[in-house]
Structure 1
């Protein structure tokens, strides 16, 4: 049952998106809220850009944040291995 796919609908900007995945509704609510907030923030900072450009900036920022977090995790894991 763990791999059961759920359909989750959310509106971001002017479009409704259906997200398919095995995560809980609570998880998808958190993801959707974060993306909506980031999208709105980009649109407020750069009102002249269209929704597609805003979405691309949100994606770029998300990947950048993911890389930074992975680097921190690698650093922490490296420090742990040195201590062992």
Structure 2
């Protein structure tokens, strides 16, 4: 395994996964728990959808949130630059 990479075993929606990355065990645990919780919520809201489609919806929601936060961060940086 490349230097700086860690393995974390997670259960998401009843399936086992091995997550590999440079983040801490606590970070990966939080990510896995968040994904598991969001999958459970989607299951309740979208009873007729396959797990694959739920996973795609989850990815769309995650990317949307990421883009929103990126825009908010850029706006904060611009405000900070004007204050300096």
- TM-score scaled by length of structure 1: 0.90
Which segments of structure 1 move beyond 2 Å, counting only runs of 4 or more?
A: none
Secondary structure of 1:19's counterpart equals strand
Secondary structure of 1:49's counterpart equals coil
Instruction: Tell me the residue number matched to 1:32.
Output: 32
The CA deviation at 1:15 is 2.1
Instruction: Tell me the residue number matched to 2:5.
Output: 5
- 1:51 maps to 2:51: yes
Instruction: Tell me the residue number matched to 2:72.
Output: 72
Secondary structure of 2:47's counterpart equals coil
Stretches of structure 2 that go unaligned for 5 or more consecutive residues are: none
Stretches of structure 1 that go unaligned for 5 or more consecutive residues are: none
C-alpha RMSD of matched pairs (Å): 1.1
Secondary structure of 2:28's counterpart equals helix
Aligned residues: 82
